[in-house]
Amino acid sequence: MTKIIATLKTKEKNLELLKYIDAVIIGIDGYSINLPFNYNVDEIEEAISFFNLHNKEVFVFLNKNFRNDELDDLKYILNRLDNLNINGIVYYDIAIVNLKEKLGLNIELIWGQEHMTTNSYTINYWYEYGVKYTLISSEITLDEVLEIKNNTNSKLIVQLFGYIPMFNSLRHVVKNYKRQFKLIDESKINYIEKEDKIYPIIDNKDGTVVYSSNIINAIEESMIMNENNIDYILLNSFNIEAEKFIEVCKLFKNVDKNNVSEYNIRIKEMFNNTDKGFLYKETIYKVKE
């Protein structure tokens, strides 16, 4: 049975949401990006204990690029997490793979380099290094996801709902723009309009993140994922109203062949900007034979 992982909207302990999900992804301030919010270091143990109490799997994003002067703090966090009951760490920087070995940690790792997790060959390479999970890129097709599943032993996580992070930069693109044009705006989320599409953009102390203009809604494909033993599907709460997100999780939890069409329509009615992402968009590039 495919499990449902969700990102969380706030620190509020929402028991209603937990009814419909099997696992959560949480972040730590200064170590995690692309999440609606992060816990600070002093809060993380209590948060993990809360989810443990409710029998939810816990994955932690440590998914930023780390500078050399941050490595000592990173070692501290890794050692601390290794002593807590979590299911794994989602990493971007391969320093984490090296530090796991150097520090003798037992914690599971999830390869989460976004645009790079696109093929079974590289997934199997990291699997041999002890990385037993992969957060699959949102830029490949459904057929390619299933092909990967058939050619690797790695546990796979596939995003099937929510805005998709498209672009990250350490530069403060929005803040620099506002400064240049003397604009006063304290909004946490801004929007870029381009070619009749509107893209959410975040600029905080960790840099800039641009998200997709549309919300991926692949509730129909979630049944295919289940039939093909995909391990986890990811539902992303970023920029989604809390009550609507709970309803989405409920629909994904209870979908079956008898109600899938109805549930798909209900999600489309909740949001006016859904699509299938890249699940049916084949790449225009081809490796030379």
Q: Provide the pLDDT for residue 80.
A: 97
On whether residue 288 sits in a domain, the answer given is no
**pLDDT-derived band of residue 287, with 50, 70 and 90 as boundaries?**
low
User: For residue 280, is it within any domain?
Assistant: no
Judging by DSSP bridges, how do beta strands 57-62 and 23-27 pair with one another?
parallel
pLDDT of residue 289: 60
In a domain, residue 281? The reply is: no
pLDDT at 235: 99
Please tell me the predicted confidence (pLDDT) of residue 112: 97
Q: Are residues 78 and 191 in the same domain?
A: no
Q: Is residue 236 part of a domain?
A: yes
Q: What is the pLDDT of residue 282?
A: 85
pTM, rounded to two decimals: 0.95
Same domain, 36 and 114: yes
> What pLDDT score was predicted for residue 3?
99
Model pLDDT, residue 185: 83
The answer to whether residues 201 and 222 belong to one domain is no
* Nearest residue to 234 via CA among 247, 220, 216, 207: 216
Q: What proportion of the chain, given as a percentage, has pLDDT over 90?
A: 90
Rounded to an integer, the average pLDDT of 113-126 is: 96
Mean pLDDT of 195-207: 93
Mean per-residue pLDDT, 37-41: 94
Give how far Cα 174 sits from Cα of 171, 194, 239, Å: 9, 15, 18
CA atoms within 13 A on the CB side of 84: 26
Query: What mean pLDDT do residues 144-163 have?
Result: 98
In a domain, 186, yes or no: yes
Same domain, 160 and 60: yes
Q: Are residues 150 and 196 in the same domain?
A: no
Residues 268 and 248 in one domain: yes
190 close to 203: Cβ distance less than 8 angstroms: yes
Q: In the predicted model, what is the mean pLDDT of residues 115-119?
A: 96
For the purposes of burial, counting CB atoms within 10 Å of the CB of 129, is it exposed (0-12), middle (13-18) or buried (19 or more)?
Answer: middle
Residue 223, amino acid: M
Where residue 118 sits, what CATH number does that domain have?
A: 3.20.20.60
> What mean pLDDT, rounded, does the chain reach?
95
Q: Do 197 and 58 share a structural domain?
A: no
Q: What domain range is 18 assigned to?
A: 3-164+213-275
* pLDDT confidence of residue 285: 64
**Same domain? 222 vs 207:** no
Q: Is the pLDDT of residue 13 over 90?
A: no
Quote the CA–CA distance of 251 and 43 in Å, as a whole number.
31
Give 286's pLDDT tier (boundaries 50, 70, 90): low
